Amino acid sequence: MNELKPRQAPETIDETLDLLAGADYVADRSLATVLFLSLRMKRPLFLEGEAGVGKTEIAKVLAQSLGRRLIRLQCYEGLDVSSAVYEWNYAAQMIEIRMEEAAGKVDRRDMEKNVFSERYLIRRPVLDALTGKAGAAPVLLIDELDRTDEAFEAFLLEILSDFQVTVPELGTIKAEEPPIVVITTNRTREIHDALKRRCLYHWVDYPDAARELEIVSRKVPEANKRLSAEVVSFIQKLRQIELFKVPGVAETIDWASALTELDKVALDPETVSDTIGVLLKYQDDIARIEQGEGRRILKEVKAELSAAAE
Amino acid sequence: MALPVAANPDGRIADNIVYFARTLRKAGMRVGPASVKDAIEAVLAAGIGSRDDFYWTLHAVLVSRREDHATFDEAFRLFWKSRELIEKMLAMFSPVAPDRRERQKPRPAESRVGDALFEGHRRQQPAEDTPEIEMDARFTVSGNELLRGKDFAQMTAAELSEAKQAISRLKLPFDTVRTRRFKADPGGRRVDPRAMMRLASRTGGELILPRFRSPREVHPPLVVLADISGSMSQYTRIFLHFLHALTEKRRRVHTFVFGTRLTNLTRQMRHRDPDEALAECSAAVKDWSGGTRIGDTLAEFNRLWSRRVLGQGAVVLLITDGLERDDTTGLSREMERLQKSCRRLIWLNPLLRFDGFEARARGVKAMLPHVDEFRTVHNLNALADLCGSLDRSASRNVDPRLWLEARAA
């Protein structure tokens, strides 16, 4: 692992924008503002939005550009304290007890202190995130919080408001400097208001055409200019019609790179129908686009782009 | 761009933020004193630069649900834009010239925010006499949209206690799911090392006794889709009471009603008092006792809500008579999708008052193949009847194929 050089958090909103742009993340000003505030006020950032709009990416970019360690906690149903915060190394504790017995020590309090000492504490992501040095606090990404159940959410309350964890046998562990916390959810379930209140909330929306074009040109630099414009315009139009799952930015990037790999320089109906699986993941949606709606959108895209070129 | 100026702590901006937060609260957003403090801190931290930055600074702190964005947007526009505010003020205080300009399309949440801002001043305005236009909107064909209000008789004390009893006795089919969390259980089959260590340390390590645990079981989320169209109207009151009692008892119940459109009543149902809850429901729903569009509303549910509420093994309870006049091919497809995205789909049909029911109606035929359980109510006069038919110990066979086979034979 290469050495990290921690940088200080940005001082203004413009600096925040530059920081993100420097790491090839094209953010709009609203996102930069909320990110700046969360860094400044040391509050967790709560990002909600459809799948594939770059929520997780923000945490990665933040860790990379600020030179901090990224600690990722992927949530799943049944996630509990022993896999998210800490766990005791029971086997080693057992051996410790037997060793002390063999050595003939009998003082009960001593033994308890030895058995429940930091030596036998296994640090899981959350506890790990609370051990950052001043000026180099890690980025803690709590990804897809909606996948866990309410019980775990309640547990996060102490961590997010006071940045501390209470281990009954050991006492309270408090962070020297609070970690930079980014929470993401896909809204498969409503998150409780108590948790949201402790965070700064932001809804990450699909980007507009200009910003999406910029994203494509940064992420897929080898893509042809005309192709990128057509891809972005096609997807922007797809988002207008009522699909079961509209494509996100991640799909745009995938599609642009897929078409580039196929040496395409412009969209045509056959290519669209051959590669539509990159964009749409539900059979109903695919059938609908292949039944002519795709051709109609493509025609509109071509017409608009040629009108704009003149 | 000009550099943001550090906010002057003696200025009026803090007062204005407090007033602004109060406006938001009146417009129905949940903005507590803590978030007002945060908002002031945030503005101090960000400094006052462009209007946009100021907007997003306040937005970051004061908005915590996506639904509130429109309200915030409108309130911000009204509150922090002096020119338009003056116009509004003028209109408000001049008694002679009520604003008769052709209105543009009303922005979402505009009326609520406007009411919150100018609360109390409306009275002084002369009542604007608008010509009354009467329209007879009764249609005979169901499927056409017919918007109506509805009043429910209040719940009597006897009904209330009866309802509570019936609900507490009710055991829904497939009503527990095993989680990956554990609880201490002497008869459990898994070793609980943490409890063992704690116990061992108490005796100084002389005794390490085994402790056991077993997986915890919880109620899965319950999503109720209830038909409130004309043909179901006599039962509406009963199942709204049922849903209210259920919401109170269990943690995760989502309630949707549909006639010609789909309405989410989950938040309204959380009201403690059943009469208030029903009054709020009544206000929220626009299509009481109108026509039915089961296929379209299910499609809307599948597209917009299923991924938000059907997670974690949800059970769906669909209360409808299945009388659909529209094209039933779409209905069949949407039912299939609904069944595939939930853990169990239970259809409760209150129209089966006589035993000679056959799956004859087209809507019923389209829906039956895609449900896991088909339950019927022969006599729905009270909530207890509803609970009785939903109870898992109900002896009748609930397999939907029986009805289809009876039809084929």
Let me know whether A244 and A197 are in one domain: no
- Residue A149: its chain B contacts at CB < 8 A? 179, 181, 218, 312
Which residue out of A47, A53, A189 would a mutagenesis test of the B interface target, given it has the greatest number of B Cβ atoms within 10 Å? A189
Which chain A residue is nearest to residue B266, measuring alpha carbons? A190
Min Cα separation A73/chain B (Å)? 17
**ipTM of the predicted assembly exceeds 0.90:** no
Angle at A196 between CA A191 and CA A197, to 5 degrees: 145
Q: What is the pLDDT of residue A247?
A: 93
- Residue B3: its chain A contacts at CB < 8 A? 12
Let me know whether A76 and A38 are in one domain: yes
A101/B205 touch (CB, cutoff 8 Å), yes or no: yes
pLDDT above 90: percentage of residues in chain A: 47
Average pLDDT score over residue span A165-173:
87
Which chain B residue is nearest to residue A40, measuring alpha carbons? B45
Let me know whether A39 and A69 are in one domain: yes
Angle at A78 between CA A73 and CA A79, to 5 degrees: 25
- Outline where DSSP puts E strands in B203-300: 212-218, 222-227, 253-258, 262-264
A202/B303 touch (CB, cutoff 8 Å), yes or no: no
Q: What is the pLDDT of residue A282?
A: 86
Interface of A with B in 219-238 (CB under 8 A): none
* Cβ(B86)–Cβ(B51) below 8 Å: no
Phi, psi for B85 (deg, rounded to 5): -65, -40
Let me know whether A162 and A295 are in one domain: no
Q: What is the pLDDT of residue B139?
A: 35
Let me know whether A32 and A156 are in one domain: yes
* A267, two tokens: 């969209």
A142 domain residue, yes or no:
yes
A307 domain residue, yes or no:
no
A100/B205 touch (CB, cutoff 8 Å), yes or no: yes
B35/A202 touch (CB, cutoff 8 Å), yes or no: no
Residues contacting B365, CB < 8 A, separation 6+: B328, B359, B404, B407
Number of residues assigned to chain A: 310
A30 domain residue, yes or no:
yes
Q: Does B112 reach chain A within 8 Å, measured CB to CB?
A: no
Q: HSE of B356 in the Cβ direction (CA atoms, 13 Å)?
A: 0
Domain boundary residue, one of A203, A220, A249: A203
What is chain B's Cα-based Rg?
A: 28
B66/A40 touch (CB, cutoff 8 Å), yes or no: no
* Integer Cα distance of B360 and B220 in angstroms: 33
Q: Does A106 reach chain B within 8 Å, measured CB to CB?
A: yes
A6 domain residue, yes or no:
no
SS3 B103: coil
Let me know whether A17 and A74 are in one domain: yes
B181/A80 touch (CB, cutoff 8 Å), yes or no: yes
B179/A149 touch (CB, cutoff 8 Å), yes or no: yes
Task: Report which residue type is found at B221.
Answer: P
- Residue B205: its chain A contacts at CB < 8 A? 97-98, 100-101, 111, 115
Q: What is the pLDDT of residue A69?
A: 92
* Nearest by Cα to A24 from A264, A236, A205, A249: A249
Q: What is the DSSP letter of A241?
A: S
A13/B64 touch (CB, cutoff 8 Å), yes or no: no
Number of domains in chain A: 3
Min Cα separation A119/chain B (Å)? 15
Which chain B residue is nearest to residue A246, measuring alpha carbons? B303
* Integer Cα distance of B285 and B270 in angstroms: 16
A200/B309 touch (CB, cutoff 8 Å), yes or no: no
Let me know whether A160 and A77 are in one domain: yes
A146 domain residue, yes or no:
yes
Min Cα separation B79/chain A (Å)? 20
**Bridge partners, B348 (sequence order):** B319, B375
Min Cα separation B394/chain A (Å)? 31
A129 domain residue, yes or no:
yes
Q: What is the pLDDT of residue B5?
A: 52
Which chain B residue is nearest to residue A107, measuring alpha carbons? B204
Let me know whether A79 and A187 are in one domain: yes
Q: Is the pLDDT of residue A6 over 70?
A: yes
Domain boundary residue, one of A161, A180, A203: A203
Average pLDDT over all residues of chain A: 89
* B112, two tokens: 């609520």
B56/A88 touch (CB, cutoff 8 Å), yes or no: no
B308/A200 touch (CB, cutoff 8 Å), yes or no: no
Which chain B residue is nearest to residue A88, measuring alpha carbons? B194
Let me know whether A159 and A73 are in one domain: yes
A222 domain residue, yes or no:
yes
Range of the domain at A103: 88-116
Chains A, B: CB pairs < 8 Å? 119
* Integer Cα distance of A17 and B286 in angstroms: 45
Let me know whether A141 and A163 are in one domain: yes
- Residue B255: its chain A contacts at CB < 8 A? none
Of B47, B57, B201, the CB nearest to A112: B201
Domain boundary residue, one of A203, A218, A238: A203
A189/B309 touch (CB, cutoff 8 Å), yes or no: yes
B61/A244 touch (CB, cutoff 8 Å), yes or no: no
* Integer Cα distance of A251 and A280 in angstroms: 8
Specify burial of residue B310 (Cβ count, 10 A radius: 0-12, 13-18, 19+).
buried
A276 domain residue, yes or no:
yes
Q: What is the pLDDT of residue B91?
A: 52
pLDDT in tens, chain B (409 residues): 344 455 455 567 888 888 889 888 888 788 888 888 889 889 888 887 788 888 999 999 998 888 888 889 888 888 887 655 555 555 544 444 444 444 444 555 666 666 666 555 544 444 444 444 443 333 333 444 555 555 566 667 777 677 777 777 777 776 777 877 888 888 888 888 888 888 877 776 677 788 899 888 888 888 999 888 877 777 787 788 888 888 887 878 899 998 888 888 888 888 777 778 888 888 888 877 777 888 889 999 998 888 888 888 888 999 888 877 767 788 888 899 999 988 888 888 876 554 555 556 777 888 888 888 888 776 666 667 777 777 766 556 677 777 777 665 5
Interface of B with A in 171-200 (CB under 8 A): 179-181, 193-194, 196-198, 200
Interface of A with B in 65-84 (CB under 8 A): 77-78, 80, 82
Cβ of B185: how many Cβ atoms within 10 Å?
15
- What end-to-end distance do the CA atoms of chain A give, in Å? 52
* Integer Cα distance of B219 and B40 in angstroms: 42
Q: Does A281 reach chain B within 8 Å, measured CB to CB?
A: no
Of A80, A100, A149, the CB nearest to B312: A149
Min Cα separation B56/chain A (Å)? 5
Q: What domains sit in chain B, N to C, each tagged with a CATH number?
A: 13-96+110-121 (no CATH), 160-170+219-408 (3.40.50.410), 180-218 (no CATH)
Let me know whether A28 and A138 are in one domain: yes
Q: Does B33 reach chain A within 8 Å, measured CB to CB?
A: no
- Residue A196: its chain B contacts at CB < 8 A? 64-65
| Dihedral, CA of residue B360, residue B363, residue B368 and residue B370, to nearest 10 | 160
- Phi-psi map region of A285: left, alpha, beta (phi>0 left; psi -120 to 50 alpha): alpha
CATH of the domain at A50: 3.40.50.300
DSSP string of A250-292, one letter each residue = HHHHHHHHHHHHTT-SS--HHHHHHHHHHH--SHHHHHHIIII
Average pLDDT score over residue span A88-102:
86
Q: What is the pLDDT of residue B351?
A: 67
What would the pLDDT profile of A126-144 be if each residue is shown by its tens digit?
A: 999 998 787 789 999 999 9
Let me know whether A165 and A258 are in one domain: no
Q: What is the pLDDT of residue B372?
A: 86
Q: Does B30 reach chain A within 8 Å, measured CB to CB?
A: yes
B307/A97 touch (CB, cutoff 8 Å), yes or no: no
Min Cα separation A57/chain B (Å)? 19
Of B45, B64, B196, the CB nearest to A197: B64
